[in-house]
Amino acid sequence: RVNALKRYKILDTPPEGAFDNVARLATQIFKVPISLVSLVDAEQVYFKANIGMGKAKFTSRGVSLCSLAVLKQQVTVFENAPEEPCLLVNPNVAGSFGLKFYAGAPLTTHDGFRIGTLCVIDKTPRPFSADDELILEGLAKIVMDEIELRLSAIEETDKLQQSNEELSAINEEMTVINEEMSEKNEELLQIQSSLVESNQQLAESETALQLAITSAKLRMWQIDPVSKSLQYNFVLAEIFGYESPVPMTYEQAIGQVAGKFRSVISDEIERSIREDKDYDMIYQQTRFNDGKVIWLRSVGKVTRQENGELASFSGMVMDITEAKEDEQRKNDFITMVSHELKTPLTSMNGYLQMLTMKAKKNEDDFLLNTIDRATKQVGKMTSMINGFLDVSRLESGKININRQIFDMAALVKESEAESIVSITSHTVIYAPVERTIVDADMDKIGQVVQNLINNAVKYSPAGTTIRVACETIAGNARVCVQDEGMGIKQSDIALLFDRFYRVESAEMKSTSGFGIGLYLCAEIIHRHNGKIWVTSELSKGSTFYFTIPICTE
Ligand code: ADP
């Protein structure tokens, strides 16, 4: 019963008009001063409506007659309470309140629990008929209906409140999400604006690059690794002999290259892609429109994506036809001049020999001496001219390596015999000189040895020692020429074997030369699959080495 009462959420709640109205109606119908709507809890009796009993909101269950009234299904009536033996001790009856009349109808819930009463009370005794009881019961029903209605209203409100709460929770979440969204939006906006900015910068640098490419007439190309198609710009199309860049595959482009360069070029491109190496080639090509053969230098580089996959192979082409033609003209000129100079030198040599014979006959020592010097000068001149001829022969590909099997030691010993006569300014020591058999061009290797010894003489002070050695080391014949001369700066060493390179220094001003000796040596050694190099320390001396493979047959 108490649980049923709790269900209605009505205990200890403020007065409400509907209940007051019923209670007031009851006082008017029955003409009594007091009427209560009471709810009987476990310990207390609460007055939901109280007409005529002051400000009392509840009373203890023990003193309340309503506690008795809820025990019965019917209306409980005491027409004259002091006459009821069971109520004699009730303080409301016995005390100053002086209760005489009480009639209470139970408030019965739809499921049969009596949770309270509607009662009428008087301080004077009075009769209460069966009709009166029916009316009171009817009013009690109205009160009960009101309680039920009230509950469903509460439940509605609760439900509303709950869904309101849920809604506001959802709202709150939405607000948070909204805030996050707007934050993200802002970030996105920022990213977008920086993207726009970098895009602009990219576009600007792209324009600048294109401008630079166009104004410098840079001929650019790019090979797509997947489609193998070749992209190139207008100025490069011009070289190929087209009016505009017609679509072309990589193979077609290679097809334009002069036959003898074709396989070298595609090998080089493949190697450069495979090994991530820079590509740099000089080759000839026939121009499409007029058939002119032109010289090109093409340089390229591989670019890779972040995952290491090939992105593109691109580079540029330079037309070096003019430079090549200039070089050719220069070479032709040098060859012509050298040939022209050789003829008078040969006759001069003949005349000098005749003079020597005559001077010997006359035993004219002064004349002999002078003729000897003149002969040496003619010799120097001849070897210089021969050097030039060698360079131009080399560059026009006319130099031939005539191999024969010989002992390198024999060659070095020949040079020793010669130097004993010709070199008086320096001590030349030949040690060790080991037997080592090679398959090489004896004359040209001899030329290299002689050149290195001559340089040692030229670039070290008189009175110092020059050491020449010939050994077999790791399958190679190695010859070295060591001097105690001026030495070579580290920065010069890399360029020493280049054509026409001479070290620039005060000492060098007094020595003659064209800087072709070491260039020729390097070319000759490289054509023998050998190596040539130098180690040197400034003002202490230099050691030149070369190796060529020994003959194993
Ligand atoms: P050239 O002697 O006619 O100048 P080379 O090609 O023989 O030409 O030599 C190139 C340069 O290398 C020389 O000009 C000289 O500066 C330097 N050089 C060659 N040999 C030596 C050496 N033994 N000691 C110092 N410098 C040397």
Q: Are 93 and 82 in contact (CB under 8 A)?
A: yes
Core vs surface per residue 472-496: b (16+ CB within 10 A) or e: beeebbbbbbbbbbbbbeeebeeeb
Return left, alpha or beta for 72; rule: phi > 0 is left, psi -120 to 50 is alpha, else beta. beta
Sign, Cα dihedral of 444, 449, 452, 453? negative
Q: What is the dihedral of CA 210, 214, 218, 222, to 10 degrees?
A: 40
Closest ligand 1 atom number to CA of residue 544: 23
User: If DSSP codes are grouped into helix, strand and coil, which group holds residue 549?
Assistant: strand
Statement: residue 258 has pLDDT above 90: no
- Is the CB of 456 inside a 6 Å radius of any atom of ligand 1? yes
The model's pLDDT over 126-143, given as tens digits with 9 standing for 90+, comes to 999 999 999 999 999 999
The model's pLDDT over 168-192, given as tens digits with 9 standing for 90+, comes to 999 999 999 999 999 999 999 999 9
Query: What are 219's two structure tokens?
Result: 């001929």
Statement: residue 103 has pLDDT above 90: yes
Mean pLDDT, range 161-169, rounded to an integer: 91
- Is the CB of 419 inside a 6 Å radius of any atom of ligand 1? no
Angle (CA) 364-368-373 rounded to 5° is 155
Q: Are 448 and 516 in contact (CB under 8 A)?
A: no
Using CA atoms, how far apart are residues 149 and 384, in angstroms rounded to an integer? Answer: 130
Q: For residues 332 and 548, which has the higher predicted lDDT (pLDDT)?
A: 548
Q: Could you write out the DSSP letters of every residue in 195-225?
A: HHHHHHHHHHHHHHHHHHHHHTT-EEEEE-T
What's residue 433's pLDDT? 95
How many C-beta atoms surround the C-beta of residue 413 within 10 A? 14
Closest ligand 1 atom number to CA of residue 521: 6
> How many whole angstroms from 454 Cα to the centroid of ligand 1?
10
Closest ligand 1 atom number to CA of residue 519: 6
Alpha-helical regions (H) of 276-364: 321-362
The most confident of the ranges 39-53, 209-223, 245-259, 314-328 is: 39-53
Query: What are 410's two structure tokens?
Result: 């024999």
Please list, in sequence order, all residues whose beta carbon lies within 8 angstroms of the beta carbon of residue 250, skipping any fewer than 6 positions away: 223, 228, 229, 230
> How many whole angstroms from 257 Cα to the centroid of ligand 1?
39
> How many whole angstroms from 386 Cα to the centroid of ligand 1?
17
Please list, in sequence order, all residues whose beta carbon lies within 8 angstroms of the beta carbon of residue 551, skipping any fewer than 6 positions away: 405, 437, 438, 439
Answering whether pTM is above 0.75, one says no
Statement: residue 512 has pLDDT above 90: no
Residue 467 bridge partners (DSSP)? 429, 482
Q: What percentage of the chain reaches a pLDDT higher than 70?
A: 100
Statement: residue 17 has pLDDT above 90: yes
- Is the CB of 514 inside a 6 Å radius of any atom of ligand 1? yes
- Is the CB of 401 inside a 6 Å radius of any atom of ligand 1? no
> How many whole angstroms from 455 Cα to the centroid of ligand 1?
6
What's residue 193's pLDDT? 92
Residue 473 bridge partners (DSSP)? 476
Give, as one character, the DSSP assignment of residue 550: B
Using CA atoms, how far apart are residues 223 and 129, in angstroms rounded to an integer? Answer: 117
Total count of residues recorded for the chain? 553
Statement: residue 209 has pLDDT above 90: no
- Is the CB of 44 inside a 6 Å radius of any atom of ligand 1? no
Q: Whose structure tokens read 């290491």?
A: 308
Q: Are 521 and 546 in contact (CB under 8 A)?
A: yes
How many C-beta atoms surround the C-beta of residue 333 within 10 A? 11
> How many whole angstroms from 534 Cα to the centroid of ligand 1?
11
The model's pLDDT over 533-542, given as tens digits with 9 standing for 90+, comes to 999 999 999 9
- Is the CB of 496 inside a 6 Å radius of any atom of ligand 1? yes
- Is the CB of 503 inside a 6 Å radius of any atom of ligand 1? yes
Q: Which residue owns the Cα nearest ligand 1 atom 7? A: 517
What's residue 459's pLDDT? 93
> How many whole angstroms from 451 Cα to the centroid of ligand 1?
10
Q: Where residue 336 falls among pLDDT bands split at 50, 70, 90?
A: confident
Strands (E), 109-148: 114-122
Query: What are 343's two structure tokens?
Result: 């003829």
What's residue 180's pLDDT? 93
Mutational test site, ligand 1, from 459, 524, 538, max ligand atoms within 8 Å of CB: 459
Q: Are 470 and 479 in contact (CB under 8 A)?
A: yes
Residue 531 bridge partners (DSSP)? 547
Q: For residues 342 and 432, which has the higher predicted lDDT (pLDDT)?
A: 432
Q: Are 466 and 482 in contact (CB under 8 A)?
A: yes
Closest ligand 1 atom number to CA of residue 456: 23
Sign, Cα dihedral of 364, 369, 372, 377? negative
The model's pLDDT over 457-475, given as tens digits with 9 standing for 90+, comes to 999 999 999 999 999 999 9
